[in-house]
Copies of this chain bind each other. A is one copy, B any other.
Amino acid sequence: MAMITIQEISKISGYSPSTVSKALNNYSDISEKTRQKILKIAKDLRYVPNATAQSLVKKRSNTIGIVFEVEYGLNNLFFAKILESIRKQLEIQGYDLIFLSNNTNNGKDYLKHCYSKQVDGVFVISIGQSKEAVNKLLFSDIPVLSFDPDVEMKNSIYSESYNSIKTALKYLYDLGHRKIVYIQGSIYNFIGNMRYRSYLDFMKEYGLKPYYIKELDNAFYTFDEGYNAMRMNYERFGLPDAVLASSDLMAIGAMTFLKDKGYHIPDDVSIIGFDDIQLCEIIQPKLTTIRQDYEEIGKRASQTLIDMIENKISNIDPVIIPSKLIVRESCKQRK
């Protein structure tokens, strides 16, 4: 089934291709009568503008790219949720979202790919792996918005972490806990590092001794890592009063280890996670955690990037989305 083109509408209507195009695009120099005629024919013929041809001449594709390079990909609940929110928002705004695959033999080159596909802007969800490729993007003339930003913090959006970690720690402190373990994810990206520093700062301010496993400083926030970190921590420092983990999965991993050891949560140990994934409500006890507002992150991200695209802004201040302590059942006053 061949596509109907403007030329054919032109033939049938008797108007020139330019006139047809203008009618279709609401130019003001087309009389209402002819516009209606042309619109009718276009409709009858089920005319569909060829977006490819359009972007060739307009240099605009109404398509936003996404560089998605994440351990476990979409299985990573956190990013899946954000992506879902982005997807919904872009749908509303009329943009398509395209995953930029990258199989150039000569190494990754996202920038090239973006140019080639003529995307209007790009989201970057990428932790660490291909720094240079991402940096090239970040410092190009294409609007870019990055999640989980690097130290440069250029054009990024993320959840507030520093204060919310402190809030959570204060909450534990007020419950009487003093020996508080921290289970970190990677401390080499911006976010992970910020959380880590927040913990250290807090402990210092309150004159407490920090407990964490230095060697495990490059984790991916998984259940197994949480389990393992808790095990090492336990063997090295004994039973803590409370645990603060940098992800829910890690928190649940830690909780599972403690349960396996025969301890009871929250009677023996209090635990707090980070993220607020669905699982928090499913497990026993329900996990107290710091909620990231995925919906809002995705929404603001989309709005911000589109704003950058439409107003040709190439540098923005970091967009920081508030996060919030959600109290459930995994913490308790110290006996």
| Interfacial residues, chain A to chain B (CB-CB below 8 A) | 1, 3, 46, 48-53, 55-56, 61, 63, 68, 72-75, 77, 80-81, 83-84, 87-88, 90-103, 112, 115-118, 140-141, 223, 252, 256, 259, 278-279, 281-284
| A97 interface neighbour in B1, B101, B141, Cβ under 8 Å | B101
A65 nearest CB across to chain B (Å)? 9
Enumerate chain B residues within 8 angstroms of A112, measured Cβ to Cβ: 46, 48
Q: Are A98 and B282 in contact (CB under 8 A)?
A: no
A178 to B333, CA, bound (A): 46
A134 nearest CB across to chain B (Å)? 16
A139 nearest CB across to chain B (Å)? 11
Enumerate chain B residues within 8 angstroms of A103, measured Cβ to Cβ: 91-94
Closest residue of chain B to A140 (Cβ to Cβ) is B1
Q: Are B96 and A96 in contact (CB under 8 A)?
A: no
**Additional A-B contacts beyond A72-B84, A74-B80 (20; CB < 8 A):** A1-B140, A48-B112, A48-B115, A50-B118, A51-B116, A51-B117, A52-B52, A52-B55, A68-B87, A73-B87, A74-B74, A75-B80, A75-B278, A77-B77, A91-B102, A92-B103, A95-B101, A96-B101, A223-B278, A279-B279
Closest residue of chain B to A4 (Cβ to Cβ) is B115
Given A141-B1, A282-B223, CB of A118 within 8 Å of CB of B252: no
Enumerate chain B residues within 8 angstroms of A73, measured Cβ to Cβ: 84, 87-88
A47 nearest CB across to chain B (Å)? 9
Given A1-B141, A74-B80, CB of A98 within 8 Å of CB of B100: no
